[in-house]
Amino acid sequence: MPGPIVSTPFYRGRPVDWAALEAIRNEISRLKPNGGVGYKLNQSASGWSLSIPSSTGGGGGGSTAVCPWQVSEANTSPSEWKITIAWGLVGPQGVLPIGMQYSDDPPLVMDWQDGFVVMTVTFKTDSGLIDTVKFEIKTAIPEQSETEAYYPIARISTVTPDGGGDPQQVIQNLCSAPVPSVCDLKFISA
């Protein structure tokens, strides 16, 4: 823990001696932030910034997935559209979503339905710990409830080309890595 900041009196219009400037420089050097696990510090003329690599998020399980919990096509035939969600654990506790296997075999596959792929999280009563996590497809992003928090992962839709032709699947991954929290639940005052 840093000690007290050096107190040097400065007065308008009066010169500052070298000893005072050196004391201030030493204090600034002592208070320099340090890098840490999962981030790197970058210094510029305007101050400090953090670089956080995208690989530190959830989902993907160390794979080369572009997004955590990336949604992809997993069609079994031209008429049976399905999606798959990249493997990943949720939150600091590392909760495995319902339907996913630790070996990712078989991968989580869901039937195609236009709407939003949302991560639905419930929490243990009287605790901030995650109870269950599941992925669902909803026509709209639900409002948070007292018991469930919803995190959008992707939007999936079916489009028909302007000139006609076969319908096409469109998947818009949101590439978010939410950290579920009880603070995201709907608050009801007593």
Tell me the pLDDT tens digit for each residue of 115-165: 999 999 999 888 889 999 999 999 999 999 988 999 999 999 999 888 778
Over residues 13-32, the mean pLDDT reads: 78
Tell me how crowded residue 58 is: count the other CB atoms within 10 A of its CB.
20
The C-alpha atoms of residue 102 and residue 96 are separated, in whole angstroms, by 7
| pLDDT value of position 105 | 86
How far is residue 5 from each of residues 15, 22, 24, measured CA to CA in Å? 21, 13, 9
Provide the whole-model pTM.
Answer: 0.63
| pLDDT value of position 18 | 82
| pLDDT value of position 65 | 41
High-pLDDT (> 90) share of the chain, %: 37
Better-predicted residue by pLDDT, 157 or 9:
157
- Note whether 22 and 6 are within 8 A (CB): no
Lowest mean pLDDT among 19-28, 50-59, 97-106, 159-168: 50-59
The residues with which 49 forms a beta bridge, in sequence order, are 42
Over residues 181-190, the mean pLDDT reads: 82
In this prediction, residue 36 has a pLDDT band, given cuts at 50, 70 and 90, of low
Spacing of C-alpha 162 from chain mean position = 36
Per-domain residue ranges of the chain:
55-184
| pLDDT value of position 35 | 64
